[in-house]
Structure 1
């Protein structure tokens, strides 16, 4: 929320639930450590045992306009933050007759949300973004996110203490952004103020017209330690400890976090997508939150996430969202939508993507978005293998120089028919030791 990024990819749909659905019980292996279902009388404020209001235009002594350039004043008024009497929280931005905006920002009192050693943490909210699109949505910036505990009371140690944006949206676009902020600002290993992020469209119904479940899963049971972001149970982004240096990762994660829900108006993120508020921006459209839940699993227990449907084979899978790799690096991409790609790919390198669901009809095509600045005479194969990086490839294509390491093209290939759910390995084979390819995303087709 203190900064943003962008890259879009579509994912599969999910069944709709009622607006006042109860938070689901923890899956096997998980323990519920926090829940607010926002049950209470209409027009009342939030439960202050769980939440505190952040009011004004900054923290005491902190950066002005919450460090983002947003223009609203946050209040604890029930006009801006209240329960609706049907099991939901509403955070509603309002403009007065003088054109001044107010809105709401609440934060958990607890600052200790982190996975146990060798375990996992899952933080999720089921919510509907403000149901406004087009010109009336200009400047809307709803968010569900987390800040590292050392930020509370300091307010000048961002982004080193870590920020995890589970859901952000601007201008009423049918798109959810997720990102991790860390390191130093500007630049640094986390590319600030952009951060390490990705985005996708909401599955099925749009983000604005329906409730969706937005999840962050922080996994210390795997190596490298990985933080995953999902919408309606489908992963669309991840960040792991191998993507930055050990000190940066430790400073950003070796402590608890607190949770934030807010609707900002205007600021850096809306500005990055064409501008902020204007006279046509509609007042009074709330973000509606059904529940916020935090789950914990010890010793690697729990399902991460269910193997079936973890990733949709037929939607773009971002290459930097790998679950394991060897020899790759991650860098900012100039491809359409921005985001990141993996690069420095040469003979023997690989990237691992868990739980790709091909369904029962089966895939017969493979497509990847690739670029190459390899010198003359250097080329190689981009291969697809299933369940093991040493398995026989089910398909491949060859690639040589495309005009530069950020000169992108989409390359198709036929593959042996694949059904069911598999781990996918992209492997890279060449007769020369030099790097020969960058990969932005890949997908499968029927």
Structure 2
């Protein structure tokens, strides 16, 4: 949320929409419980809001923000919003149907109250070299048009160093996973960082993107899942934003200088849920603005996967190889990479199950350290691949040794195999290879579109 922005800020619209791996359901009624942990992920923390009707939130997990500001912080939460936030069950409560409700209310004198809560934990960040996913299934206040003027629901995060300081925004980082204003059938996502006004992150606007319309049903009429994936396994690092697993906005660490990125992300974060009334972005409510229409939150969950490298030292394709710990002549699972760039893992339907590495396009790569070819030269390699690429889209699977930019020692071409889970084993010749090497699979194409998935590969003499 625009926690400390100057009034009158706008959000930059980015009209790129792409499909992501399904992790949750789309726009249905509130479910009885949070979904199971997605395959390949580990649950870090969650709240399913299963309390009785009218009950308070669990204060072991959540903190109520009270009033018009943090103690000694910017007035009106830095945004110009006008509602007084309370810990009253009139404004913040569990509804007995598995939801948290945050309800803005106008009294007879025209004064507004609402709710804002934040997690007790402030250590949410990806594991070193891994990925963090923060998601919530939410129905925005179900009101549109003139009745929604000034209503501003949000699901977002602030950097842990903000706690107790309250004047170091935006340098400590703000990640807005879901924002909406004035009942628009639209979602905004933003990273705030750097200095304000202006600076490398274009404050007070930030580095933002939007999607027009929630998938399947409007954002106000149904529950939708809003998620952010913070990926430290890629170089550059990425923040990816989704609605119902539709990827619509990505922020990369190379969009700003390294110091700005590290100041904004090299620490934990806490999660915030609130419904603001008024402020510089939505404008003031009017007599027509509906009172008593809540935002409903089915659950909030945090997941992680991967890890093992220093997040401040992203994978470097020129790093030296590790000691030989892989047999070149055994099956090397694609998802067992030591580093990668531009890829994602997914569940495979291929024989043996497990995962494959997908979404591979021009310039992406996978790195496998310490591959031991022995003293007798390998002459061929083969890989298990699938492709649902459209007509005219194809590319090469290349083998490169010790440097991602070295000359390929071998390659083969892949085009559509009949679908992204229609697998075949494709062989290719390589120049004689002996000894122990870092092996790179690099994916090269004359088109920008994804052209191949890979499940495993191996070498032979």
Residues 418/324 of structure 1: CA separation in 2 closer, same or farther (3 Å cut): closer
Q: How many Å separate the matches in 1 of 2:204 and 2:277?
A: 19
- Report how far residue 29 of structure 1 moved: 2.4
Which residue among 257, 261, 268 is the counterpart of 1:249? 261
Residue 93 of structure 1: aligned partner? 104
What runs of 5+ residues in structure 1 fail to find an aligned partner?
309-321, 327-357, 365-383, 391-415, 429-441
| Secondary structure in structure 2 of the residue aligned to 1:268 | coil
- Report how far residue 22 of structure 1 moved: 1.8
RMSD (Å) for aligned C-alpha atoms? 3.2
Q: How many Å separate the matches in 2 of 1:202 and 1:170?
A: 14
The alignment status of 1:79 with 2:87, answered yes or no, reads no
- Report how far residue 87 of structure 1 moved: 0.5
Residue 128 of structure 1: aligned partner? 139
Which residue among 212, 219, 239 is the counterpart of 2:224? 212
Residue 296 of structure 2: aligned partner? 288
Residue 48 of structure 2: aligned partner? 37
Matches within 5 A, 1:62-73: 62-73=73-84
Equivalent residues of 2:171, 2:263 under 8 A apart: yes
Matches within 5 A, 1:319-398: 386=394
Which residue among 275, 283, 286 is the counterpart of 1:278? 286
Residues 191/279 of structure 1: CA separation in 2 closer, same or farther (3 Å cut): same
Equivalent residues of 1:41, 1:85 under 8 A apart: yes
| Secondary structure in structure 2 of the residue aligned to 1:167 | strand
| Secondary structure in structure 2 of the residue aligned to 1:26 | coil
Residues 421/177 of structure 1: CA separation in 2 closer, same or farther (3 Å cut): farther
What runs of 5+ residues in structure 2 fail to find an aligned partner?
309-334, 337-342, 349-359, 365-386, 399-414, 422-442, 450-461
Q: How many Å separate the matches in 2 of 1:154 and 1:46?
A: 26
Residues 419/235 of structure 1: CA separation in 2 closer, same or farther (3 Å cut): farther
Equivalent residues of 2:92, 2:102 under 8 A apart: yes
Residue 156 of structure 2: aligned partner? 145
- Report how far residue 268 of structure 1 moved: 1.6
Which residue among 54, 57, 62 is the counterpart of 1:51? 62
Residue 331 of structure 1: aligned partner? none
- Report how far residue 30 of structure 1 moved: 1.3
Q: How many Å separate the matches in 2 of 1:426 and 1:216?
A: 30
Please give the TM-score of this superposition, normalised by the length of structure 1. Answer: 0.69
Residues 276/32 of structure 1: CA separation in 2 closer, same or farther (3 Å cut): same
Residue 223 of structure 1: aligned partner? 235
Which residue among 172, 177, 181 is the counterpart of 2:183? 172
Residue 368 of structure 2: aligned partner? none
CA displacement 1:405-440 (0-9 Å, x = unmatched): xxxxxxxxxxx9998559997869xxxxxxxxxxxx
Please give the TM-score of this superposition, normalised by the length of structure 2. Answer: 0.67
Equivalent residues of 2:14, 2:208 under 8 A apart: no
Q: How many Å separate the matches in 2 of 1:17 and 1:94?
A: 26
Give the number of aligned pairs: 337
Residue 5 of structure 1: aligned partner? 11
Residues 196/421 of structure 1: CA separation in 2 closer, same or farther (3 Å cut): farther
- Report how far residue 152 of structure 1 moved: 0.7
Which protein shows a greater Rg?
2
- Report how far residue 17 of structure 1 moved: 3.5
Q: How many Å separate the matches in 2 of 1:159 and 1:427?
A: 38
Matches within 5 A, 1:433-444: none
Residues 218/11 of structure 1: CA separation in 2 closer, same or farther (3 Å cut): closer
